[in-house]
Amino acid sequence: MITNQVNNIVELIQQQIKDIVEKSIKVAEQKGELPQIEIPEIVIEKPREQQYGEFSTNVAMQITKQAKQPPRKIAEIIIGNAATEGTYVEKIDCAGPGFINFYLNNQWLYDSLKLITEMKEQYGEITIGKGTKVMVEFVSANPTGPLHMGNARGGALGDCIASVLEKAGYDVTREFYVNDAGNQIQKFGISLEARYIQQLKGEDAILFPEDGYQGEDIIEHAKAYIAEYGDALLLKESEERRSILAQYALPKNIERIRDGLQQYGISYDVWFSEKSLYDSKEVERTISELKEKGYTVESEDAIWLNGEKLGLEKNEVLVRNNGFPTYMAADIAYHRDKFVGRKFDWVINLWGADHHGHVGRMKAAMIPFGIEPDKLQVVLFQLVRLYRNGEIARMSKRTGKSISLTDLLDEVGKDAARFFFNMKASGSHLDFDLDLAVKQSNENPVFYVQYAHARICSMLAKLEEEGIPMPEVSKVDLSLLKEKEELELIKKLAELPEEIRISASTLEPSRLTRYVMDVAGGFHSFYSACSVKNAEEELRMARIELAMCTKTVIRNVLSILKISSPERM
RNA sequence: GUGCCUGUAGCUCAGCUGGAUAGAGCAACGGACUUCUAAUCCGUAGGUCGGGGGUUCGAAUCCCUCCAGGCACGCCA
C-alpha cells in the first residue's frame, strides 16, 4: 500500500473513505435506490468514542433533503453499496442519527511504522505547501532596548510557525524588521543625550524627557560611550550629539537582540532595515504611487491615506505636516516590497494583540498595489503574564529590572521557555509559571516529554549492551503488536503528518506541543504494560521497532519546536 | 462610547467550518518499584460549557442581548 508518494497515511485513508462513499452513492443512484444527488464536500471526522470506529462521516444526514429519505435509511443504502477492496477499511456500520462509521484493519498501523522507519527524521514532512514562497516576520522588536516577554512569546510562536510551514512543504523565509529609522530613533537619541549630559554634569543638568526611554540600559550606553570617547560631545550641536549617540548604541542593541534570539534558538534569513526603505526612496515611491492612483487626500498640511476608498473607518496620516512620513507609510512601503519587490506569495506577521487595530489598515493598504489583502496574514498573540510564588512577577530576581528574554532564559532555560510559549493557542492569554517551568517533576510537561525520549534511548542502549540485536524492519513481524497500549501508541505515531497539516493550515504549532505530550504519554503507558526485554524474541523485535519509531517521532516534533531531545536524564 | 480578543472541572487549557454520553494535564483521593529509568504507570472523583433569548431534527460551536476580564481607537510604533 505504501508508495513513495504517500507520506500521510491518515490522509490516504480519509481519501479512500471519501471515494468509497462517493462511488457508493453513484451506484445507488444507478440502481434507483437514491435519486440524483449533488454530493456535498464529504467531511471525515474522528469519532470521540472508540466504539464508533476510526473514522465517521455525516453525509447521510447532510443529504437527507435531497434523498427524501430518513438519514439512517440513506446510511444503510450507502453501506450496502460500499466497495472496500484495496483499502484499509474492514467494516462499515451505521449508528446514532445516521452516522456512517468506518472500522479499519490494523495494517494501516503497521504500514505507518514502516513509513516512519523509512523516512526517519523526514517523517512528518508533507507537500501541501508545494514550494510556495512564504515569509514569516516576527519579533521585529524596537532596537531601543532589550527584548521583553511579548518578544519572547512572539519569537517562539513565529519561529515554530515557520518550522511547521517548512515541514509542510513551503519555502519559508524568516525575517526581522529592524526599526532603525523614524520617531523612536529620534527619541532614543534624545534619551541617550540626556543620560550623557547627566553622567557628565549631574542629574540636574538636563531634564530627562517625559516620553524618553527610562531603562537602565540607556544609562549604561551613555557610560560606555564616555568611557570610550570621553566628553567631547558636550561641545557639539545637540542634533549631531543625538545622532552620534544613537548611531553608537543602535548597533550594540541590534547585536544584543541577535545574540539573545540566537540563545533562544532563533536565527533569521533576513534582517531588514527600515532605514534602507528611506535610503532607497522606497517610502517616497510608495507614497507617490498611492497619490497617483488616487488613494490619498490632503488636508491640514498632511497627506492621508484615503480610508473610505479602502473600506476603512477613517483616514490615516502618511506624511505629517512637518514633511516626515509616518510609520504607517514606511510599513506600507515595507509590505509592498515583500510582495511586489521580493515576490512572496504569502506573508505572515506576528504582532502583539495591542497592534490589532493596525491589521485591517495594513491589509487594506495592499489593495492599491493589486495585492490580494488576504495574502497578508497577521497572527495576533495575547500578552504574557509571568507568575512566581503564585503572584504576578514583574521584576527579574537577578537584576531587579523588568524581566527580559535573557533573564527568562537564565531562569528557566530555552527548552522550557519554548515549550511553554507553544503550549497554548496564540489567541489565548498566557500565564507563564516560572516555578513550574523549572520544576523537575511530573507537574512539568517539558520533562514528561523529554523523559520519554531519554527512557527510550536508555532502554535501547541497555538492550544493545546485553547483546540483543537491533531489528531490521523488513524482517520484523509487526502484526505481533496487538496489545491495546501498542496499538494506541502506533495510532498516535501515525497521526504526525496529519498533525503537521493541521498545524500548518491553522498556524497553530501549539497543536504539536500537545501532540508530543500525547505521544510521550502513549509511550509511558506502553512501557509499563509491555516489557520489551522479557518478550519472546519475535515480539521483542517488533517492540524494539515500535520504541525506535516513537523516538523518531518525539525527536522530530521537538526539533520543530527547537527543544532538545536528551538521551539521558 | 465604538471595535477586536477572551470566558469550558478547584487550577492551566483543548474542543468552536453545528453532530453521538463535553475532553486532557495538574491538584485531590486510592493503588503499583526484588522486574528494560517511579521525572513513570493504573484507577476514582470532579461540569448550569459566564447569564438569558433565538435559529435547528441536533448548539460549547451559529445569531441577538447582557455580564466579567484584557486590548485598541495619536500627525506613536
Q: Find the nucleotide nearest A330 (Cα to C1′).
A: B77
Nucleic acid strand B within 7 Å of A317 CB:
yes
Q: Find the nucleotide nearest A187 (Cα to C1′).
A: B76
The ranges of chain A with pLDDT < 70 are 1-5, 397-400
Q: Say which DSSP state A498 is in.
A: H
Nearest to A366 by CA among A356, A355, A378: A378
pLDDT tens sequence across A537-554: 999 999 999 999 999 999
- For residue A252, the Cα-to-chain-centroid distance in whole angstroms is 29
**Cβ-contact A544, A530 below 8 angstroms:** no
Provide Rg for chain A, Cα atoms: 29
Given CATH 3.30.420.280, say whether it is the number of domain A9-105.
no
* Residue A321 vs residues A333, A362, A369: alpha-carbon distances, Å: 19, 22, 25
For residue A4, the model assigns a pLDDT of 54
Nearest to A422 by CA among A497, A516, A351, A498: A516
Nucleic acid strand B within 7 Å of A378 CB:
no
Which residue's CA is nearest to the C1' of nucleotide B5?
Answer: A427
Fold observed for domain A442-560: Isoleucyl-tRNA Synthetase; Domain 1 (1.10.730)
Hey, which bits of A179-294 come out as E strands? 270-273
Reading phi first (left if > 0) and then psi (alpha if -120 to 50, else beta), residue A323 is in left
pLDDT tens sequence across A442-480: 788 999 999 999 999 999 999 999 888 888 888 899 999
For residue A40, the model assigns a pLDDT of 84
Strand B bases with any atom < 7 A from protein Cβ: 3-7, 12-15, 17, 19-23, 25-27, 35-42, 57, 70-77
Ranges of CATH 3.30.1360.70 domains, chain A = 9-105
For residue A400, the model assigns a pLDDT of 66
Nucleic acid strand B within 7 Å of A377 CB:
no
**Cβ-contact A297, A304 below 8 angstroms:** yes
For residue A428, the model assigns a pLDDT of 86
Nucleic acid strand B within 7 Å of A150 CB:
no
Q: How far apart are alpha carbons A196 and A160 in whole angstroms?
A: 41
For residue A242, the model assigns a pLDDT of 95
Nearest to A541 by CA among A550, A532, A549: A532
Which residues are within 8 A (CB) of A12 and not within 5 positions of it... i.e. 6 or more apart? A6
Hey, which bits of A306-420 come out as E strands? 316-319, 346-352, 376-381, 384-388, 391-392
Q: Find the nucleotide nearest A97 (Cα to C1′).
A: B20
Nucleic acid strand B within 7 Å of A521 CB:
yes
For residue A237, the model assigns a pLDDT of 94
For residue A398, the model assigns a pLDDT of 65
Ranges of CATH 1.10.730.10 domains, chain A = 442-560
Q: How far apart are alpha carbons A410 and A228 in whole angstroms?
A: 29
Nucleic acid strand B within 7 Å of A96 CB:
yes
Q: How far apart are alpha carbons A418 and A264 in whole angstroms?
A: 8
Q: Say which DSSP state A120 is in.
A: G
* Residue A366 vs residues A7, A134, A289, A324, A335: alpha-carbon distances, Å: 37, 16, 12, 21, 8
Q: How far apart are alpha carbons A71 and A62 in whole angstroms?
A: 8
**Cβ-contact A422, A513 below 8 angstroms:** yes
Cell of A521: 504519554
For residue A399, the model assigns a pLDDT of 66
3-class SS of residue A455: helix
Q: How far apart are alpha carbons A472 and A493 in whole angstroms?
A: 19
Reading phi first (left if > 0) and then psi (alpha if -120 to 50, else beta), residue A129 is in alpha
Complex ipTM, two decimals? 0.94
Nucleic acid strand B within 7 Å of A326 CB:
yes
Q: Find the nucleotide nearest A453 (Cα to C1′).
A: B37
Q: How long is the CA A57 to C1' B47 vector, in angstroms?
A: 28
Nucleic acid strand B within 7 Å of A513 CB:
no
For residue A101, the model assigns a pLDDT of 93
The residue behind cell 453501506 is A79
Q: Find the nucleotide nearest A433 (Cα to C1′).
A: B12
